[in-house]
Chains A and B, each alone.
Chain A
Amino acid sequence: MVEFLSFRDGEAGQEPAVTVESFTGQSNATAVRIEPGEDARELLPHLDRLSLVEVNFPAYGDGRGYSAARILRESGYQGELRAVGDVLVDQINAMRRCGFDSFHPAKPLDDAAVERALTRYDDVYQKAIDGRQPVWAKRHPEKIHG
């Protein structure tokens, strides 16, 4: 069983994450935690000083954090993006696709199940954050540049 999962090179961020409100009100924090309902776009002016963003999932069914993750990645955030809370093995794949690269689930995950979940699907239908070529790009390779 794994309690922490990272797909990044190097050390995981250790600094305690502060709330969005206290982060935007001070200049020295480099880690922040987004709760559902908070606007990830408030962080965009400060991306260069962030090294860790935690996105909290108090309940697996609340999917706002998937949008928060994509918004940060679409805006160029390169630092660690960590899903925390009620994160289940059957969600890891979608979370990876939305740009999460580390996971700290409330309940430990089974390593083998994680491996299966991440390798189950050879193909995807949408362009997302993970750089995987969607099926439509594979069908029309002549149309895809770079």
Chain B
Amino acid sequence: MYRYDSYDQSIVNARVEEFRDQVQRRLTGALTEDQFKPLRLMNGLYLQLHAYMLRVAIPYGTLSGKQMRKLGEIAAKYDKGYGHFTTRQNLQYNWIKLADAPDILAELATVEMHAIQTSGNCIRNISSDQYAGVSADEVADPRPWAELLRQWSSFHPEFTYLPRKFKICVIASDDDRAAMRLHDIGLKLVERDGVIGAEVYAGGGMGRTPMVAPLIRDFVPEEEIVSYLEACLRVYNRYGRRDNKYKARIKILVHEIGVEDYKRQVEEEFAHMRTLGLNPPVEELARIRAFFANPAYEAGASEDIDRADPAFALWVDRQVAAHKQPGYAIVNISLKPLTGIPGDASAEQIDLVASLAEQYSLDELRVTHAQNLVLPHVKKADLYAIWQKLEEAGLAEANLDLITDIIACPGLDYCALANARSIPLAQKIAQRFADAERQAELGELKLKISGCINACGHHHAGHIGILGVDRKGVENFQLLLGGSGAEDASLGQITGPGFSEDGVVDAIEKVTDIYLAERTSGERFLDTYRRIGMKPFKEAIYG
């Protein structure tokens, strides 16, 4: 894992003091809320329905045990004992007092964490693949690139007042576990003639105008990635729309001027940028890369897993993924208990996972964009002990990528923008499909719920997506089918008129019935939908 040097630490410490000063000016009335707003937003502090919400950056979703433990301590000390993991691999506290925010940032700084640029119209936290460094199919670990870009984007003097927020994702596998093409810029590391570089995709995103990002360059060598991104961002900063916040994301610019014209402008700017000496030397990426070298795996670790306990065996089959190192496994920890809030973890659960990471996962864990956690380096011999501890803590749900592994935004229970409640609906769906055999029968089925058109719950990318809207003061839920955030990225289509909360659960059940009736051997829900189209589903729902 990356560790701060004195430069990184001094920058983060300076930020804490700057924010303390700003909060002090607000508390004494020297700053009005209007003047304070842009300052707090640069630090991930939102004023929500009931309280301040603080969003903490978890760069590329990687944490040490110590960092995780600190997140649990903060949840216990300053929040109501919970943290909420988000679709951007961050963590949100929903019940923060303004006066406490500087102290929280100071505590985070002691474990090399911060909330810099977790909101505002700037470059946000860089996201990545939760299996980075441990999956066998990647061309290189994408996290050194993500860390290089974290540093480059932090307090970038030119790109802090962009037309709108800007999200970057870096992956390095053909399997896209991070919804890369639904980011403002997605980078996919590739190898060409023995050199690592990136394919660059630009103009993806969700919100009210969802788009899958097109490829704008098939190779940028690693030593020029910073100047290339400077070019991409400059064209966006200069020409992205500022007259309408709903048309201000880069996807609209790329769409309106056309991908060819955007590419041409970026190439012109890049030709200029590459002469300015903006790129760190290759030694800097090498320095960062050294932090992500393989941890000390035990040679000859046993491949055996004792599957005598059937509940454990079920969990292994669902939650454990293949690791590149013999004798090791990747453990997915579900934050989707059937009666819980998707992505929520209590302070005690956070603390337990921190301990598990330290004891069993070489002091490392990951957060996924699907709002789950990962222990990336687990010896197969330790799986049973881990499962028992997770079971005791209510964290042993075996539902990875199944219909109850629901992504949901906080919705109207917390969010000032929402039109509808997402969490109670997620719980109703989980209850309806609670039966483990039924879930397994349905197989991979990614269900995603957003409580408003801003699409924080990624409903466009759900195999089944749900969008909550307000219809004359009543919550109404639209149903979408056929989206995907994976390597086969696609956008879901709306089935037709919306439903009540109970009505949409019934409609989902009808949709799954059609799938079970129509599927051919080996087909996932998404495959069947793509083969037979919307019509049979529509007839079943509205017929």
Contact = CB atoms under 8 A, between A and B. Distances in A.
B5 interface: yes
A63 interface: yes
A127 B161 contact: no
A136 B284 contact: yes
Nearest to B286: A140
A125 B237 CA distance: 20
Contact of A138 (B7, B161, B278): B7
Interface string A109-146: 00000001000111111111000001111111001100
Contact of B152 (A63, A126, A140): A126
Interface in B8-28: 8, 10-11, 14, 17-18, 21-22
A94 interface: yes
B36 to A, nearest CB: 10
Interface stretch (A1-9, A20-28, A47-55, A64-72): A64-72
A126 B160 contact: no
B89 to A, nearest CB: 21
A61 B284 contact: no
A82 interface: no
A11 to B, nearest CB: 27
Given A66-B157, A74-B272, A125-B151, A61 B38 contact: yes
A64 to B, nearest CB: 6
A63 B14 contact: no
Interface string A27-44: 000000000100100000
Interface in A68-89: 70, 74, 88
A123 B7 contact: yes
Contact of B154 (A67, A97, A125, A144): A125
B2 to A, nearest CB: 13
A116 B234 CA distance: 28
Contacts of B160: 63, 66, 94
Nearest to B22: A90
A136 B288 CA distance: 11
Contacts of B10: 122-123
Give the interface centre of A36, A63, A93, A143 by most chain B CB atoms within 10 Å: A63
Given A74-B272, A120-B17, A121-B14, A128 B7 contact: no
Given A61-B38, A74-B276, A126-B278, A139 B7 contact: yes
A124 B155 contact: yes
A107 to B, nearest CB: 10
B324 interface: no
A120 to B, nearest CB: 5
A63 B35 CA distance: 17
Interface string B268-290: 00001000111011011001000
Contacts of A136: 151, 280-281, 284
A64 B284 contact: no
Interface of B: 5, 7-8, 10-11, 14, 17-18, 21-22, 35, 38-39, 121, 151-152, 154-162, 234, 237-238, 242, 272, 276-278, 280-281, 283-284, 287
| The 10 residue pairs across chains A and B that have the minimum distance between CB atoms | A63-B161, A97-B157, A136-B280, A94-B157, A143-B281, A135-B7, A136-B284, A125-B151, A66-B158, A140-B283
17 contacts: A62-B161, A63-B121, A63-B160, A63-B162, A67-B158, A67-B238, A70-B234, A74-B276, A90-B39, A98-B158, A120-B17, A120-B18, A122-B10, A125-B151, A126-B157, A134-B280, A139-B5
Given A127-B278, A139-B287, 5 more contacts: A63-B158, A63-B237, A70-B234, A74-B272, A138-B7
